[in-house]
Amino acid sequence: MKVNPFDIITLCYQCRRNFEETGESNVRRINHEQTVKDKCDLCQQKTGYDYRITPKKRDKTRRRK
């Protein structure tokens, strides 16, 4: 699923981990006071919290050989 960086999506624990493990995105929880979980937008099976997914910035000082 392609995620627009400006969208807020609900992710369960497992789907959030999948985003984090790729290392290509920053995953930030929107509201740390949120207590009610919603259905995950990706798997549609588990419940989770609202997150914003943004691409990580590339290190411009690092050169390819």
Q: What are the boundaries of each domain within the chain?
A: 8-55
User: Which of 65 and 30 is assigned the larger pLDDT?
Assistant: 30
**Residue type (1 letter), 43:** C
Main-chain dihedrals φ then ψ at residue 22, nearest 5 degrees: -70, -30
Predicted TM-score of the model (pTM): 0.75
The model's confidence at residue 55, banded by pLDDT at 50, 70 and 90, is confident
Dihedral, 33, 38, 40, 46 alpha carbons, nearest 10: 100
Q: How far apart are CA 21 and CA 60, in angstroms?
A: 22
Q: What is the pLDDT of residue 26?
A: 87
